[in-house]
Structure 1
Amino acid sequence: MKADLHVHTEFSDGRDPPEVMIEAAEARGLKLLAITDHGPALHVGMKENEISGYLSTLENLRENAKLKLLVGIEANVLNESGDIDIEEETREKLDILVLGIHRLWFVSDPREMALAYLRSLVNAIKKHKIDVVAHPFQFHGDLSRFLTIDEIRELLEVAASRGTAIEVNEKYRAPGEDFYRACLENGVMLSVGTDSHRAESVGRLDWVSGMLEKIGVSEGDLLYTRFLR
C-alpha cells in the first residue's frame, strides 16, 4: 500500500510529533501521508487557537519530506443537521478534510442510533466539502448492522454525487465486505487509513489490503491515486 490518509499526532490524541510520524511513513515506503489531527469539538482535539500553529508546522515539515504530505484535519459532526467544527476559512487551507462522528445525541436504542448517525453524515456531506468519511458507522460497534442496504444507499448516493470517499479503516476493521462492495457499486471512491496514534502503526494496512483484494478494487477506485498524479 502506497498511502495512509488518516493518522494523528501529539497535536491531538496521538503519542508522537508529526515529524516522527512522517519518518515512520517514509521508512515503510509510503508515497503519501495525510496527517489529520482532531478538530476542537472533541475533548482530545486541538483547541481553536492551536490550529494555525498546527498548519504552519505541517507546511514547514512538508518542504523536506521524502513523501507527499497532506495537511488535514479530522472534523467532528456537531449535530444531526450536519454542522461541523471546522470553519470554512480553515477548510480552505487544508489538502484533505476527514469527517468523523464521535458522539450521538440523546439516543440509546441501537437502531435509532444508527439512523441518527446516518442522518448526521448525509447532512454533513451535503453541507460541506468532505473528502473522506472516517471509520464509517463505527460508534461503540458497527452501527451498519442496524440499517437496511436501502438506507445505507442514501449515504452512498450522496457521497458519490459530492465526491466524498468512504474510508477502509485498519483500526476498527468494519463494516464488512458487503458494505464496501456496495460503495463500489454506487460509484463511491474508497480511502485507506490506519487511524494511527503512534509511529509504529503508520502504514500497517494488512486488513485494509485484504479487504480491497476481496472486493476487487482497482487503483481508480482509491482516493489516494488522485493525490499522487
Structure 2
Amino acid sequence: MIDLSADGHVHTAFSSGRDSVSVLVAAAEQAGLTELTFADRVGPDTSWLPPYLASIQRAQQRTDVVLRRGVEVEAIGIDGWLAFPSDLSGLEVISVGLNRLPLPAGLLSPDAVRGLVDNGTMRALDVIDQVVTVTGLAVERVSRYAPTRLARPLDFLARSGIDESAVPDAALAELVEALRVNGTVVEVSERHRLPGTRLVRACVEQGVRLVAASDAVRAGEVGVFRYVREVSAALADEAATASAAC
C-alpha cells in the first residue's frame, strides 16, 4: 500500500541534517532505494538554495536512484501564506510544514498553545479548526508552484497535547478533501510516527496518495522504516479483508 523503495523526505547538512547529499545518496543505494526526495527546510532568508540544488543535480549523474529536488516550507499566515524563499525555480516538490500556529495576533508555538488550552483561554476544538484551515489553505497555495506534499500531518496538534482522536470527523474530512482537491501527497513520517490510523484510512478512502518518509537527519536513517512498514501492512490487511468479504 506504501512504496517502501522510496524515501520521500530527508535532510542534508545544508539545513537540519548531519550529512552531505552524496553521503545520503550512498545510504539510499545501500538501503536498496529507487527514489530519494531531499526536503531541507527553507525560508525567506535561505541563501544556499542554488548550491543545494546543484549538489543534488551532480549526485544524480552518479547514481541510478531517482533524486527529487525538494524543500520544506512552513505555513506562517492565517491565509495559508508560507515562508517561501526568494526563488522557487529548480524545485520538483515542496513539502508543507506547520511548526507554529498562525493566528490574527501572530504565530504561537505548540507549548504556548498547550498553555492556553490548559488554562481555558483556547479550546482544543478551536486549535484543531485553525490547524485544518491553515493547512488546507497552505497546500492550495503551494500547489500553484510545484507538486505538494504534507509533512508530519497534524504534528502541531500532537506537540500541543491534542490527540488525533480529538479531531472531529468533519474536520478530518475537510482536511482530506483539501489534500485530494489539490493533489497533495501525504508523507507517512517514520521519525514522527504520523499520521495516525484515522487520517491514514481517510486518505486511502479518498484516494490521497501516501509516501514513506524517514525524515532522516543522518545517513543511517535513510530508508529505515518500522512505523511506516506497520502502517503499510495494516492497510494491506484491511484491503485483503475487505476483498474477501466481497
Per the shorter chain, which TM-score range? 0.7 to 0.9
2:46–2:85 CA contact under 8 A, matched in 1: no
Q: Equivalent of 2:70, from 56, 72, 85? A: 72
Give yes or no for the alignment of 1:103 onto 2:103: no
Q: Output the CA distance in 2 between the equivalents of 1:217 and 1:64.
A: 38
Q: Pairwise CA RMSD of aligned residues?
A: 2.0
Q: Output the CA distance in 2 between the equivalents of 1:158 and 1:212.
A: 23
Q: Find the counterpart in structure 1 of residue 149 from structure 2.
A: 132
Q: Output the CA distance in 1 between the equivalents of 2:125 and 2:51.
A: 41
> What's the % identity of the aligned pairs?
28
Matched residue of 1:132: which SS?
A: strand
Is 203-212 or 102-111 further displaced after alignment? 102-111
Q: Output the CA distance in 2 between the equivalents of 1:21 and 1:69.
A: 11
The CA deviation at 1:142 is: 5.8
Q: Output the CA distance in 2 between the equivalents of 1:172 and 1:142.
A: 15
1:14–1:197 CA contact under 8 A, matched in 2: yes
Cα deviation, 1:128-149, whole Å, max 9, x if unaligned, reads 2152100100021565333211
Cα deviation, 1:147-186, whole Å, max 9, x if unaligned, reads 2111111111111111111111111113322221111111
Q: Unpaired segments of 5 or more residues in structure 2?
A: 102-106, 118-123, 239-246
Alignment of 1:1-229 (within 5 A): 1-40=4-43, 47-86=45-84, 89-90=87-88, 92-104=89-101, 105-106=107-108, 107=113, 108-109=116-117, 110-129=124-143, 130-139=147-156, 140=159, 143-216=163-236
One-letter amino acid of the structure 2 residue matched with residue 122 of structure 1: G
The TM-score, its normalising length taken from structure 2, stands at: 0.80
1:170–1:208 CA contact under 8 A, matched in 2: yes
The CA deviation at 1:124 is: 0.8
Is 59-68 or 10-19 further displaced after alignment? 59-68
Larger Rg: 2
Cα deviation, 1:57-79, whole Å, max 9, x if unaligned, reads 11111111231111110111112
Matched residue of 1:74: which SS?
A: strand
Cα deviation, 1:26-59, whole Å, max 9, x if unaligned, reads 0010000011100126xxxxx4221112111111
Q: Output the CA distance in 2 between the equivalents of 1:20 and 1:67.
A: 13
Question: Cα 1:70–1:217, aligned 2, differ >3 Å: closer, same or farther?
Answer: farther
Question: Cα 1:40–1:217, aligned 2, differ >3 Å: closer, same or farther?
Answer: farther
Q: Output the CA distance in 1 between the equivalents of 2:50 and 2:169.
A: 41
Q: Unpaired segments of 5 or more residues in structure 1?
A: 42-46, 219-229
1:142–1:174 CA contact under 8 A, matched in 2: no
The ranges of structure 1 where at least 4 consecutive aligned residues each deviate by more than 6 angstroms after the TM superposition are: none
1:72–1:95 CA contact under 8 A, matched in 2: yes
Question: Cα 1:14–1:87, aligned 2, differ >3 Å: closer, same or farther?
Answer: closer
Q: Output the CA distance in 2 between the equivalents of 1:217 and 1:40.
A: 41
Q: Output the CA distance in 2 between the equivalents of 1:25 and 1:209.
A: 17
One-letter amino acid of the structure 2 residue matched with residue 211 of structure 1: V
One-letter amino acid of the structure 2 residue matched with residue 138 of structure 1: D
One-letter amino acid of the structure 2 residue matched with residue 132 of structure 1: R
Matched residue of 2:207: which SS?
A: coil
Question: Cα 1:157–1:196, aligned 2, differ >3 Å: closer, same or farther?
Answer: same
